[in-house]
Chain A
Amino acid sequence: MLDAIKKLIWPIAALVFLLVINAISNPALFSLKIVDGQLTGSLVDILDRAAPVLLISLGMTLVIATAGIDLSVGSVMSISGAVAAVLLIQTDWALPYVLIVSLLICTMAGIWNGILIAYIGIQPIVATLILMVAGRGIAQLVSDGQIITIPEGSTFAFIGSGCFLGLPVTITISVIAIITTITIVRYTSLGLFIEAIGGNEKASYYSGLNVRTIRIFVYTFTAFCAGIAGIIYAADITAADSNNAGLYLELDAILAVVIGGTSLMGGRFNIVGTIIGVLIIQTLNTTILMTQVGGHNIPAEWNLIIKSIVVLIVCLLQSNILAHLKFSRRAIA
């Protein structure tokens, strides 16, 4: 336990640092109110908005742990949103069937990625690039190039903006996803296998691991999570927007995973770290939106600049050079 905290010291420090800045500059962020039996406030809002990135990041953590990467998650999100919206509007199917079908289609997208990588042997970045490019086209094909709006107040919209136990439904979904993922990877041997493949694929193969199946599993799991994220996104804005759903979200997810201490080289992963990474990114977004400088809001575009600086700092902190410096200092002492 102490060891786990030690590993997460930088991400946690960053998150605390962000919150402290907010506490000083903008105490309103911490105010919580109960309106109509629902807890509201910026902190709840952060958790609510973090749900899509969080879901994708959970899958991405496992993919990156196998030394892979999945660029197609944003496109898969747009596909699931489009499929769900089209089925809801153009058929009289019950909601559960709609959700199951759209998630099944996303699962197939994940299996496609997995087969390209595990059986045809294409590098993950290239293999998932194909679906990243084609996916938005597929989503637009499904929605006929339109932004399909879903009536507000429907059960589907409830997924995005409803409230359960006094908290947004999205938070419940996030918590269920986190618990499921941690159970799968830490209370079965699957997590160990995933790390083994990322550490040394050949060695895992020779020690009898079914490398291909596990690889397909992680990409399928990620696409499934992306599917849920797409449904949440579509339900939140009560529309399926194939052009903008999940745009550049794959990059946010990768960033969250890397901030959380999972190395892009694979072999290790840290789910709790990823969750903290997601919270950092989302808190950063909200902070930038809410902070005022001289009575003016900071333009939302600053978000990108600040994010780029964060990426660089995280990269530098994790780079070999710094690790080398630390190591040599220890060697001298």
Chain B
Amino acid sequence: MIIALKPKPQHLPLIATISVLLILYVTASMRYYGFASWYQTTSLLTDSAPLGLAAIGMTFVILSGGIDLSVGAVIALSSILLAQCMAGAEQGGFNFPSYVAIPIVLLVGIIFGGSMGILIRLFQLPPFLVTLAGMFLARGVALNLTASKRLAIVNEPTFDPLVNFLFFGLNLPAIIFIVILVIAIVISSYTRFGRVVYAIGGNERSALLAGLPVGSTTVKIYALSGLCASIGGILYAIGSQSGDASVGYLLELDAIAAVVIGGTLLSGGVGYVFGTLLGVIILGIITIIPTYEGDLNSWWTRIAIGGLLFFFIAAQRVLNSLCIKNTSS
């Protein structure tokens, strides 16, 4: 019985993340009136949705041993592109209904991510540099797309239902976040594609020698990340009823932090999409605590995120060396 309760080493980071989340949530609930309410939970999910989507895509990228710095810029590009597509001609828009505009935005996200994947795979370029170029490009295009940098989406008969949609207090961004999360968990754990992602992250050479489709999977991973980020941009547009070319600065860092806090190793091959959800919620709670605390300033948020990052990275490091000792003895 005791043996059955003893957690596997690869689950330890996840257990640590759950503990941190529980401690944070319970402390915040006891300390702040109205924190442990359904309303607060739904607004937490809604506010975290764009970051959450970016982090889900980032999880796949990091699991495969890569990195994607472009997600924040892709969110900005997607939101402003959506607004631009639906805006009237007098604002320089195309006047598309939402069911045309949204697929266009998603397609742009997939193509954008996929092209970065092709560059990384075909020319053996470091993901860090290629996605950095992607970040500059997406941000530059987003800032140049419209004259005003920020475009409100108002009085759109095909868009307003999305904004006003409510289901048990959950609005559309929160629901889509949860649905995509479930899909991503299934993809990562129960599909061929998911297993190849883990294999590439574990050891790319072995994966290649084992005959796994490393090339096409790498391209798909970055396309998936681009898709997730563009969904994130659409969710931002739904949540704020506008497109904003300057949203998501440094969001790529938060996404990476959420993935790491969620127990995924940055060297690739180890981690769970579910952990990323926990990481995103932890970041969400840390971000809203200053609004409850009143006199606590928001810059503590960044320091707290940095501190948590350090804690999890150091813990993973210790765990890793313990595992190596166990297997070698």
- Which A residues have a C-beta under 8 Å from some C-beta of B? 69, 116, 120-123, 125-127, 129-138, 140-141, 144-145, 242, 247, 251, 254-255, 258, 264, 299, 301-309, 311-312, 315-316, 319-322
Contact = CB atoms under 8 A, between A and B. Distances in A.
B14 to A, nearest CB: 18
A305 B144 contact: yes
Contact of A130 (B298, B309, B317): B309
A137 B250 CA distance: 13
Interface string B56-74: 0000000000010000000
13 contacts: A125-B128, A132-B253, A135-B306, A137-B301, A141-B297, A145-B298, A255-B132, A304-B136, A305-B144, A308-B137, A311-B136, A315-B133, A320-B123
Contacts of B136: 304-305, 307-308, 311
A322 B317 CA distance: 37
Nearest to B122: A321
Interface in B272-329: 297-307, 309-310, 313-314, 317
A38 to B, nearest CB: 34
A131 B139 CA distance: 24
B126 interface: yes
B207 interface: no
Nearest to B139: A304
Interface in B139-180: 139-141, 143-144
Contact of B128 (A126, A132, A264, A305): A264
Give the secondary structure class of B's interface.
Answer: helix
Nearest to A320: B124
Chain B interface residue count: which class? 35 or more
A122 B315 CA distance: 11
A302 B136 CA distance: 10
B260 A126 contact: yes
A31 B42 CA distance: 61
A264 B124 contact: no
A129 B302 contact: no
Interface of B: 67, 119, 122-126, 128-130, 132-137, 139-141, 143-144, 249, 253, 256-257, 260, 266-267, 297-307, 309-310, 313-314, 317
A122 B314 contact: yes
Contact of B299 (A145, A251, A304): A145
Given A125-B128, A133-B305, A308-B136, 20 more contacts: A126-B313, A130-B306, A132-B253, A134-B305, A135-B306, A136-B299, A137-B303, A140-B299, A145-B299, A251-B135, A264-B126, A301-B143, A303-B140, A307-B133, A311-B132, A311-B136, A312-B119, A312-B133, A315-B125, A321-B122
The interface centre, meaning the residue of A69, A137, A302, A303 with most chain B CB atoms within 10 A of its CB, is A137
A264 B317 contact: no
The 6 closest A-B pairs by CB, nearest first: A134-B306, A137-B302, A304-B140, A140-B299, A305-B140, A308-B136
Contact of B144 (A134, A301, A312, A315): A301
